[in-house]
Amino acid sequence: MSVLDDIIAGVREDLAPRVEARPLEQLRDDAAAAPAPRDAYAALSGDGSGITLIAEVKRRSPSKGALADIADPAALAVRYETGGAAVVSVLTEQRRFGGSLADLDSVRAAVDLPLLRKDFTVDEYQIWEARAHGADLILLIVAALTDEELAGFLALTHELGMNALVETHTDVEVERAVAVGARIIGINVRNLKTLDIDRSVFGPLAGGIPAGTLIVAESGVRDVADVERFASDGADAILVGEALVRHDNPEDTIAAFLNAGRSARLVDQDQPTA
């Protein structure tokens, strides 16, 4: 069993009691009563002069273990917003990442930015759940879904007024994401089946994504050099967790990363064309 398979098995086990406690019919009512979703696509598009940043509230990960003791996720999210993040990502998977829907609720009450519910979506219940808790963007991992599930989940996400970050890691997964009409495609340089990181996969995969699609670089952002590399290779946005939660001043880190992305874009624009 791969790491991804093991995580998904745990997600399904944890989902069952929530479904029993709050049936889908009631959850739909909750979603209908939630405030209108914010436009994450527009937020991530920015002004085109550089890159945008998704700042993640992340306590731990399967690859690194404990990252930070985040007692107040709302306070951290406010710092992300102050620093210039375009979107805040909140891990809600509990077993491997130490997150919860309570974290999402607290962050939603604290910031006006679009929120990404970062979890392993394997059932439509989770999409309604995300909307009911104020999420504006959800994660759909191509490797975890069939083509039918991917298309159906993406359609439901759009019906609810949200956007989806459709995550890929291989050229086949990029093709599948493009085929279902994904507007925001993430390229995760971490292989979720092995947890290995290979930053070199980003550029070639980004080159296969059609114009007009927002491209997000996921995982592997350690410093400004990584940001510059991803920006030069076609990233419109970067998703950053560990480098922010381990830093005493995430505002400064966000500013440095955004400046690096802007500088990389300027350098690319100054390059002579063939």
Q: Is 218 a catalytic residue?
A: yes
Q: Is 81 a catalytic residue?
A: no
| Catalytic, out of 118, 163, 228, 242 | 118
Q: Is 219 a catalytic residue?
A: yes
| Catalytic, out of 58, 61, 129, 191 | 58
Contact 251, 271 (CB under 8 A): no
| Catalytic, out of 81, 129, 218, 242 | 218
φ and ψ of 163, to 5 deg: -115, 165
Q: The tokens of 168 are what?
A: 């890929």
Q: Is 56 a catalytic residue?
A: yes
Contact 48, 55 (CB under 8 A): no
| Catalytic, out of 61, 89, 163, 188 | 188
Nearest Cα neighbor of 258 from 165, 270, 269, 230 is: 230
Q: Is 191 a catalytic residue?
A: no
Contact 216, 44 (CB under 8 A): yes
| Catalytic, out of 81, 129, 219, 228 | 219
| Catalytic, out of 81, 93, 129, 167 | 167
Q: Is 25 a catalytic residue?
A: no
Residue 143 DSSP symbol:
G
Kindly compute the dihedral angle of the four CA atoms of residues 115, 121, 127, 132, in this order, to the nearest 10 degrees.
Answer: -60
| Catalytic, out of 56, 81, 129, 228 | 56
Q: Is 58 a catalytic residue?
A: yes
Catalytic residues: 56, 58, 118, 167, 188, 218-219
